[in-house]
Amino acid sequence: MSDEQQRKIYQTDGDRYEALIAREDYQGNIEKALDEIVRVDELDALDLGAGTGRLAVMLAPRAKSIRAFDISGEMLRVCRQRLKASGLSNWEVEIADHRQLPIPNSSADLVVSGWSVSYLAVWNPGTWREELEKWLEEMKRVLRRGSYIVLFESLGTGNESPVRLSHLENFYRWLDKVGFQNKVIRTDYKFDSLAEAEELSRFFFGDELGEKVRQNEWVVLPECTGVWWVGPT
Query: How many separate domains does the chain show?
Result: 1
pLDDT at residue 7, rounded to an integer: 87
Q: Where are the beta strands (DSSP E) in the chain?
A: 44-48, 65-70, 91-95, 108-114, 143-157, 181-186, 189-190, 220-221, 223-230
Q: Is the pLDDT of residue 163 over 70?
A: yes
Between CA 192 and CA 218 the distance in angstroms is 11
Contact by Cβ (8 Å): 51, 19? no
* Averaged pLDDT, 33-53: 97
Please give the distance of CA 228 from its chain centroid, rounded to a whole number: 12
- Band (pLDDT 50/70/90 cuts) for residue 1 is low
* CATH code for the domain in which residue 189 is found: 3.40.50.150
Between CA 77 and CA 114 the distance in angstroms is 18
pLDDT at residue 72, rounded to an integer: 97
For 99-150, how does the pLDDT look when each residue is reduced to its tens digit (9 = 90+)? 999 999 999 999 999 999 999 999 999 999 999 999 999 999 999 999 999 9
> Could you tell me the residue range of the domain that residue 118 belongs to?
3-230
Task: State the average pLDDT for the chain.
Answer: 97
Q: Is the pLDDT of residue 2 over 80?
A: no
For 201-218, how does the pLDDT look when each residue is reduced to its tens digit (9 = 90+)? 999 999 999 999 999 999
Q: Is the pLDDT of residue 6 over 90?
A: no
* Averaged pLDDT, 22-43: 97
Contact by Cβ (8 Å): 53, 78? yes
pLDDT at residue 141, rounded to an integer: 98
